[in-house]
Structure 1
């Protein structure tokens, strides 16, 4: 028998990624320095008709029983540049077989561009706002390329911020991080600060948690008191990417330093997690569960990626 009945209309912040081409570009040509984010989306738009037709044809086959357990569709397009080399952009989107009134090309998020070097792009001085824009685009990338995402920051915002301004940052985190593969590492006081933003809205975190209504990014987070490091990482067997620097999770005009590095997951564990003496939930290594739409021999086709390598795992010499 039911002993309690709970009714609620609590607004939830849903995971939702939007690649902002008007923000500071993440991908630039390693030869000319040309910005490529917007150019990649322009190439996708130019090929939209062919891409969507190829996917509709593949969808009919997959619906008939050839699904193969794949979760995402990749779309690869060439991005023109004055350097003369091939900038191959890889987009991804949920598979969504069956009735879907949004064309594939409109659902695509940019996950990688070949012949760009993030190590060169993300080393230097940038404003807090620019760093948050970089991080947002990296998180979109890592939801495709990584097995696990770690956001490590001792503070979210700062102690003098208004409650509503802090809540906007927390909402940004919740909106951009899939809790199935993301972990937040911060101080206990920072989690307490989040709970106070709920209290300002008349909500009690402990009561929400009792009914399973809390934000899982918070309940699944990791606490560490004695650290001041800020770093953000996409972990995978293929390569672990790390953005680190002086900025907390906060927008603003003041200048901070950042650096970017690619390393093995074992090196990341030794250099970061073991130094902090923390453990984060592990994730099984991904298969390559993708269908890929690409131009081949002058025609747009959809095929399985299982026989080849993921585009973002190409040799560094090919980037």
Structure 2
């Protein structure tokens, strides 16, 4: 079938477009949020096609995967069809409530924008999100993440820790940038991601202890991450960082905050998760200084990730949901 979706979340879309459908990705002249088109730093198959708004009307998609309220408006404007009525639709929710910024009423009271309607199911990417959003009477389901397996690339040859985080300066405590000085005191850090400019200044980081790697291509980042002894996930509040699951696929041991869905994703033998930064700092130090322990934990992390977040299960779950809404 022809599946319309916007390029909103590159890592998630990388997995989604590996399926057996024709994927229509809107593109606009400035490649802004209304039409970013194909990814530049991920490897997507030819079945993920860029279409202009005019071309989209000719294509006539069979289903749309909505990811923002704005997508509803664009479907109406570009296709003259009503999502959920004239065009089968799913609303994919990537984020934990409040992860885009503070919200009135606090997280437990956050109502999902699609709450209480009954024509478009909400597909959450974690059970945590489904639990914490007030979805009202809207139909919901959970399709957990799937990862394109980068392979067991782990060598751990560098006694350093890898961190992947996007826009830590803008997002502040959400992404745990304030925890980096404590972790850097235990081991040198390599921080990969987008929007890293100003990170040293914001948190008083020593450039000799914290190296920044701005927006690397995904394959190159995976290869470099796998050379680091341990993966550190300092994020306080997110749905479930795909970078964490990717690091586990690489075979890296994990040190992570025990917040949101991470408590379900990281088993005890795959590393250390805790709400205590001192315990995490100690675990980081131990992994860096004990390569054998790090390698064993990394193998457990990879096994757990393949079992729960494998690509085949992810695509099967999505095929089932798309079939349901298009009947």
TM > 0.5: no
Structure of higher RCO (CA pairs closer than 8 Å, 6+ residues apart): 1
More helix by share: 2
More strand by share: 1
TM-score band by shorter chain is under 0.3
Q: TM-score, with normalisation over the residues of structure 2?
A: 0.22
